[in-house]
Amino acid sequence: MIIHNENLNIEQIAESGQCFRMNPIEKNTYSLIAYGRYLELKQIDESTVEFRCSEEEFKQLWKEYFDLTFNYKKIVDGLINGSDDFLKKAAEYGRGIRILKQEPFEALISFIISQNKNIPAIKSCIEAICKQYGERKINKELGGAEYYIFPRPEVLAQARCEDLRQCKTGYRDQYIIRAAQAVASGKLDLDSLIKCSHEEAVETLKSIHGVGIKVANCVSLYGLHHIEAFPVDVWIKKILKEIYQDKFDLNAYHGFAGIVQQYMFYYIRSNLIS
């Protein structure tokens, strides 16, 4: 499947810190494991991407996953033509980013793991967990490569601390187990949080041990697709302080602050600014 879209850049998405299982495999080409599937994507040119899958799979899954029905151009153009000089540059630089619709449970566990880790460490931790607890699959269409999907809640709910620590979770082992137990038992209904408001979702998520305001916002944004969520990590904190002197007006971006946040995050980490 060849897809044309001005605001679809696989490398930018993969490097934007929102997902942890999208990795480069060759030039301009990335692999991705999500929703029990393995996918390869190739950036043909600035606004063209090859999805290596059937048309049916694309329509059924990836079109939604990459949020391809949403108009990002409108938001990018709004920022580029706006009066905020920093956001102007950030949006221009990261205009191929989209907010993925990841699986809620995977997002929950992934961002619990993310606390006090850098992105490479988060990735290797998640890969180890998938290898140990996730179902093994073979991709028949794309060369028969094996891959491990993200484990189901019931499986992680029964994990042992010692085994999880082998995956380098550190002190987060109990957070992971208890969160998985909450989901597996039905005590935490993540799907129901998609329908309710972002604020309600964050409040509910924070009741999980090991989930604070930042992780809750990440789960809300990347796992529940509440694009008004605005996660503040050390990088965003640095921007808010150094660029905006802690006077950034979130209300100016009401309803899509999470997208703005993503441009900021990607831009500051690119090292283009000193």
Partner DNA sequence: GGCCAGGGCCCAC
Partner DNA sequence: GTGGGCCATGGC
Single out the residue of 2, 234, 245, 251 in contact with DNA (rule: CB under 7 A): 234
Give me the amino acid identity at 120.
P
Query: Would you count residue 161 as binding DNA (CB under 7 A)?
Result: no
Q: Which tokens sit at 51?
A: 């999805």
Place of tokens 């931790």: 125
Q: What would the two tokens of residue 210 be?
A: 């090991």
Q: Shortest approach of DNA to residue 179 CB, angstroms?
A: 10
> Rounded to the nearest whole angstrom, what is the least distance from the CB of residue 101 to DNA in the complex?
14
User: What angle in degrees, to the nearest 10, is found between the helix axes of 72-80 and 85-93?
Assistant: 140
Q: Looking only at residues 185 through 214 of this chain, which bind DNA when binding is defined by CB under 7 A?
A: 209-214
What is 150-204 written as a DSSP string?
A: PPPHHHHHT--HHHHHHTT-GGGHHHHHHHHHHHHTTSS-HHHHHHS-HHHHHHH
Exposure b/e, 150-174, CB count within 10 A at least 16 = b: bbbbeebbebeeeebeebbbeebbe
| Residue 102 is a binding residue for DNA (CB under 7 A) | no
User: Which residue among 216, 227, 243, 259 contacts DNA (CB under 7 A)?
Assistant: 216
Is 220 a binding residue for DNA by CB under 7 A? The answer is no
Q: Which stretch binds DNA (CB under 7 A): 87-95, 150-158, 244-252, 262-270?
A: 262-270
Q: Least distance to DNA from the beta carbon of 165, Å?
A: 5
Work out the number of other CB atoms within 10 angstroms of the CB of residue 28.
Answer: 14
Residue 138, interface with DNA (CB under 7 A)? Answer: no
Question: Least separation, in Å, of the C-beta of 218 and DNA?
Answer: 6
* CA–CA separation, 237 and 265 (whole Å): 10
* Among 46-54, 189-197, 233-241, 248-256, the segment contacting DNA (CB under 7 A): 233-241
User: Closest separation between CB of residue 206 and DNA, Å?
Assistant: 7
> Site residues (CB under 7 A) for DNA?
16-18, 111, 114-122, 124, 165, 168, 170-171, 209-216, 218, 231-236, 261-262, 265, 269
